[in-house]
Amino acid sequence: MLDFLWNLGSFIVVLGILITAHEYGHFWVARRCGIKVERFSIGFGKAIWRKVGQDGTEYVVAMIPLGGYVKMLDERVEDVPEELKDQAFNRKTVWQRIAVVSAGPIANFLFAIVALYLMYLIGVPSLKPVIDTTRANTPAAQIELKEPMQIVAVSGQKVRNWEEVNLALVGHIGGKELDISLVPLSSTTASEKTYTLDIRDWQFDPDKESPIGAMGLGIYRPGIKPVIALVTNGSAAEIAGLQLGDEILKVNGQPYQDWNDFVDVIQTSANKDVNLTIARNNEQLTIIVTPQAQTNANGETIGIVGVSPTQIDWPESMRFQLEYGIVDSFAAAADKTWQLVVVSFKMIGKLFTGDVSVKNLSGPISIAQGAGTSADYGLVYFLGFIALISVNLGIINLMPLPVLDGGHLLYYFIEVITGKPVPEKVQDIGFRFGAVMLLLLMSIAIFNDFSRL
């Protein structure tokens, strides 16, 4: 329940900030174009806060925080007194109307830059993207690894941490090939070695693995101690009496080898006894644990006991703080925002070509979970999440669906080309079509959200 409330609260905060930024973009440009703004509302429905400013605009915060709007004086909506007609939206030039409508998405892109600027000023704790294995029958199988290697570029794009690697890989979905440039982790002077990977058959399910794993890249991880660091409440381990700090010495009478072997034994022993020899307080004990049966994502029955091992700390040489100065942070934020915009547009295009499944669409539930998780990790990660959602909100609003900003812009650019407005009957049909399409997309996204729960 607490997780639900935390996610919901984080979602409302994120949505409130981004809607405010978006609507303020419309508001600010409308005022500069001499348009009278009657209402600036964050949310829909009944007002929970209202104030009329000295400029005559009614500022509102409403009950339903799923959107917002800027109500401008418009003769197409209501009768306008003669003395105010020059302040009506419909009386402005087509380029002024284009400026007002496009200002919302632009504000979202600018806000993303601000959020990322603050993130880079504070600094992002990061790990170097180092691989030590590749998986057979994957695009990365052709990479020869004799020692841990650091990924320094993907198709010429420099990458510094795993997040940047992930973003670069996603942009190549549906492509034919990509280049990965590597340098040995043990040397700072060795030259880069670049591999061209065939990705024509590369596919991945984001619900099951990351682009990195699907590519076949084995992330380097420091060793694992067979010392229990977590026992889940109500798990088989807790029922059997396992405790924090217990060290696993033997599994079914065989000396412990590594954690993967231990996991294999547990997963293949659903509802079967497993004998563990452990060390606790300088004594050896034998504990019998019965893994609980669970169905995995592939529909297979596996055993779980509900414990986690102790992770050896990452070497200092692999950890770094991704941060910039006051000036350089702006350049880095603008570059990252541009990368997010490009990748997002590519993903939308790949949805239409079929390279990306509609199953990848996410709705409000996934956004709420992401907001809560990023807020849990701290301000830096929360800022990065807000920037990502802000970019996506801006791009979605630019889609040429008549009910969105992009649809209005489409009509206005047709007006620029033809010299006359699109007939109202055509616009009305377009708005109805756009509403249906938007409802369909939202329904798919929400269905995907529930299927992931």
Taking Cα atoms as reference points, which of 142, 280, 324 lies closest to residue 216?
142
Is residue 276 helix, strand or coil?
strand
E-strand spans in 29-156? 37-52, 58-72, 124-127, 130-134, 149-154
As beta bridge partners, residue 346 has none
Task: Write out the two tokens for 424.
Answer: 């109202």
Per the residue annotation, which of 23, 58, 144, 163 is the catalytic one? 23
Backbone angles phi, psi at 345, to 5 degrees: -65, -40
Amino acid in position 10: S
Q: Residue 23 catalytic?
A: yes
DSSP state of 148: -
Taking Cα atoms as reference points, which of 214, 197, 206, 119 lies closest to residue 153?
197
Contact by Cβ (8 Å): 15, 67: no
Q: CA–CA separation, 213 vs 5, rounded Å?
A: 32
Rg (CA), the chain: 27
Axis crossing angle, helix 94-122 with helix 328-353, rounded to the nearest 10: 120
E-strand spans in 300-425? 301-304, 307-311, 319-322
Only one residue has tokens 């105010």, namely 84
Side-chain-side CA neighbours of 144 within 13 Å: the count stands at 2
Largest Cα separation within the chain, whole Å, is 93
Q: CA–CA separation, 139 vs 116, rounded Å?
A: 32
Amino acid in position 246: D
DSSP per-residue string spanning 231-283? E-TTSHHHHHT--TT-EEEEETTEEP--HHHHHHHHHT-TTS-EEEEEEETTE
Taking Cα atoms as reference points, which of 111, 27, 40 lies closest to residue 389?
111
Amino acid in position 186: S
Q: CA–CA separation, 433 vs 168, rounded Å?
A: 35
* Cα end-to-end distance, the chain, whole Å: 15
Contact by Cβ (8 Å): 45, 64: yes
Task: Write out the two tokens for 10.
Answer: 């984080």
Q: CA–CA separation, 147 vs 272, rounded Å?
A: 39
Q: Catalytic residue numbers?
A: 23
